[in-house]
Amino acid sequence: MVRKRVTLAQVAAEAGVAVSTASLVLGGRAADVRISAAAQERVQAAAERLGYRPNAVSVGLRKGRTSTLGFISDSVASSRLAGEMIKGAIEAARDRGFMVFVGETGGNVTLERQLLEAMVDRQVDGVILAALLTHGRELPDGLDQTPAVLLNIAVDDCGDLPVVLPDELQAGRDAAAALIDAGHRDIHLVGSGPGREDVRTISVAAKLRLDGILEVLTAHGLEPASGRAINQWLPPEGYAAVESILESGTPGAIVCFNDRLAMGVYQALQDHGLRIPDDVSVVSFDDASIAGWLRPGLTTVALPHRTMGKRAADVLIDVIEHHRATPDERGPHGVQLVPMPMRVRGSIRDLSA
């Protein structure tokens, strides 16, 4: 049932040459060692005929490189976003001939260490350590055993590991600018307090988004009309925030700190008979799938998870391949900020028109 693999020895026998000769030819090193054109052809033909494919395990053992990456994430399934990140990494890896082991920790540190060990045991060439849930965390031991890249993890002391992060600061600027450019001045925040001191410790992302927003508002001589710090960024909290805002009148525009808050905001505004964007404009962050399903479509600054995953894999493979070439040269890596693109849909009214 399970067909036996063809080995190099069989190819060599079929071609009437030594194993080493076959290896040289198929490894493209025939020119180096002078193999006659005739012999090369026989080897190629034999390999073709038998359907030879090199055994990657053996190659891995011999070369010490397995063309394999590990992807360790705290969450795989929690959202489409995690999937996007993995997908990006897998695609980039595939394009460069790498396969990816995927592991999920659920935030469990012990599990994380075990996964890392299991991957290192399998001689992965490098590891991507990714996070969606937690920000600001400890790094596991064992990261010194293999090249590594941090994906969506902001740590104070990342050693000299490359880090891939979304450019939340610029995203904050863009969100604010989108409203201001459309002529809005009455801007309320849902998800963070109105001042820098109010961000709580929710996340690095929240802080940066707020910084970007405030920077642009300040540049226009504005400040947030109101702000609400919220611990759980879920629809019910968004709903409640709007009810609170409405006590002091109808807002001109609302910046939601993520799309799920925005969903609650939509529900609340609708329940109060307010229309988006005619009465209230809304802008948000993340570009979760609901953003496109809400009516009207939610304009939101997208977390480019796919691109981030791709970037992480590319950087990691660069390190792996480059490192071999020039062992002591530190690459041009460090923190890689991936731009967050604005997805313009229909939730912002253009007052300037």
Partner DNA sequence: AGCGGTTGCTAGTTCGTTTTAGCACCGACT
Partner DNA sequence: AGTCGGTGCTAAAACGAACTAGCAACCGCT
Measured CA to CA, the distance from residue 60 to residue 124 in angstroms comes to 9
- For residue 235, is the peptide bond before it cis, meaning its omega torsion is within 30 degrees of 0? no
250 binds, among DNA, its own copies, none (CB under 5 to 8 A by kind): none
Q: How far is the CB of 261 from DNA (least distance, A)?
A: 51
CA atoms 162, 102, 311, 65: torsion sign: positive
**Alpha carbon distance, N-terminus to C-terminus of the chain:** 70
- Residue 63 interaction partner, one of DNA, its own copies, none, beta carbon < 5-8 Å per kind: DNA
Q: Does residue 10 belong to the site contacting its own copies (CB under 8 A)? A: no
Which of 28, 34, 53, 325 binds its own copies (CB under 8 A)? It is 53
Which one, 55 or 248, has the nearer CB to DNA? 55
Of these partners, DNA, its own copies, none, which one is at the site of residue 115 (CB under 5 to 8 Å by kind)? its own copies
Q: Quick check: 152 and 221 in contact, CB under 8 A? A: no
| 10, 103, 279, 342: residue in contact with its own copies (rule CB under 8 A) | 103
Note whether 325 binds its own copies by CB under 8 A. Answer: no
Question: Which residues, numbered 242-281, are part of the site for its own copies (CB under 8 A)?
Answer: 260, 263, 267, 270
Region of 15-23, 182-190, 241-249, 336-344 interacting with DNA (CB under 7 A):
15-23
Handedness of CA 166, 170, 172, 177 (dihedral sign): negative
Q: How far apart are CA 225 and CA 99, in angstroms?
A: 50
The yes or no reply on residue 134 touching its own copies (CB under 8 A) is: no
Query: Does 145 engage in binding with DNA (CB under 7 A)?
Result: no
The C-alpha angle with vertex 257 and arms to 254 and 262, in degrees rounded to 5, equals 60
Chain positions 61 to 80 lying near its own copies, rule: CB under 8 A, are 61, 66, 68, 71, 76-80
Unique residue bearing structure tokens 């490192």: 323
Q: What CA dihedral angle connects 132, 133, 134 and 139, to 10 degrees?
A: -50
| Residue 92: alpha-carbon gap to chain centroid | 12
Two structure tokens written together for 14: 């079929």
Q: Could you say which DSSP state residue 332 is in? A: S
Binding of its own copies by 101 (CB under 8 A) = yes
Instruction: Check binding of 108 to its own copies (CB under 8 A).
Output: no
Using rule CB under 7 A, residue 179 touches DNA: no
Q: How far is CA 134 from CA 73, 149, 192, 201, in A?
A: 10, 16, 18, 12
Which stretch in 2-10, 178-186, 228-236, 319-327 sits in contact with DNA by CB under 7 A?
Answer: 2-10
Token reading at 132: 């969606």
Indicate if the alpha-carbon torsion angle 292, 297, 298, 303 is positive or negative. Answer: positive
What CA–CA distance (Å, rounded) separates 90 from 182?
Answer: 39
308 interacts with its own copies by CB under 8 A: no
Q: Could you tell me which stretch among 14-22, 77-85, 136-144, 229-237 binds DNA (CB under 7 A)?
A: 14-22
Tokens of 1: 């049932």
Q: Report the partner that residue 24 touches, choosing among its own copies, DNA, none (CB closer than 5 to 8 A by kind).
A: DNA
d(CA 163, CA 336): 6
- Determine if 94 is a binding residue for its own copies (CB under 8 A): yes
Q: How far apart are CA 119 and CA 20, in angstroms?
A: 31
Q: Which positions from 45 to 74 touch DNA by CB under 7 A, shown as an x/- string?
A: -------x-xx--xx-xxxx----------
Task: Give CA–CA dist 140/5, Å, rounded.
Answer: 39
Contact segment (CB under 8 A) with its own copies among 13-21, 33-41, 88-96, 189-197 equals 88-96
**CB of 18 or CB of 219, closer to DNA:** 18
Summarize as ranges the residues that interact with its own copies (CB under 8 A): 1-3, 5, 53-58, 60-61, 66, 68, 71, 76-80, 82-84, 86-87, 90-91, 94, 99-104, 115, 117-123, 144-147, 234-235, 260, 263, 267, 270, 289-290, 293, 295, 306
| Residues near DNA, by CB under 7 A | 5, 7-9, 17-21, 23-24, 26-27, 29, 33-36, 38-39, 52, 54-55, 58-59, 61-64
